[in-house]
Structure 1
């Protein structure tokens, strides 16, 4: 079994996972929305989210785990337990709806500690351009199940979009960098996701 990074409060992480045997996690449109609702319920209390994308058979999230002082102490438990609760709740609903049983997500879920600003920006670009890399669209703006549009919107959101835009200096550079992100294979190698 591979060694996993311990989830440390106050740190940024790239969290990702896929369906067991690469099976689809999201079959119908409302599956995506349901997963996001569960994410809000289980993960928002312990983390700030900066980017996300939901693909048919996998997902990616860029987040910062809150410091212990920022979390309601009445609900405090091991960080991985919040993710386990998310995956279990979604799996139970998905299995019931699709008349299936057993595991849905690969275990353990993947996590990469982000230790510098360059890596942080590259992960964000990788997440938003994931639908482009998998040929679902030609630009991140065309894919509805990612945080790219939320970053550019004025609508209320829990996404830390102000900070995200500041990482790229301004909205114009944010858009420019997304249009000129490196090729998928090169990005995966650079991020160590092979």
Structure 2
């Protein structure tokens, strides 16, 4: 696997942000046109030697950082499949309400029961659910928990699984309910002239 020094530099630059156009322009300074850089950068990425070196560098980085696709998918799953009850609980509480007679003298107390929401201590939240928390702060109404975007996490997981297809399938029978489908070009032209 013998690469030129510029090919190695290209791979190093590409690994910064996975932008082949920017990496190509950074290594080949005489190229100023984005379109030219994009074409040549993508061509380099298809080069067998460059591709092999890039894959090796990415695997090395994965080992070094211990970040891999499984970990990323697990974090997304933690966010996507968390719910409010992972962070709070509804509890029933009782307080004693003073009871007064007609003259305003306290005669005793009666229990009043109510339900309230309590935030769980972070020590009581399962570790895999903590990644769903974007932030915790003391707000005007008490402690506020902001969660990461569950819908976005589900969307990213769905895309990874191939569940969502952004391509539009335009194949189909266009002659359905088309009153002009059997007419020739000459007949269509005649119809246009008659109008």
TM-score range relative to shorter protein: under 0.3
More strand by share: 2
**TM-score where L is the length of structure 2:** 0.23
**TM-score where L is the length of structure 1:** 0.23
Rg larger in structure: 2
Using CA pairs under 8 Å that are at least 6 residues apart, name the structure with larger relative contact order, 1 or 2: 1
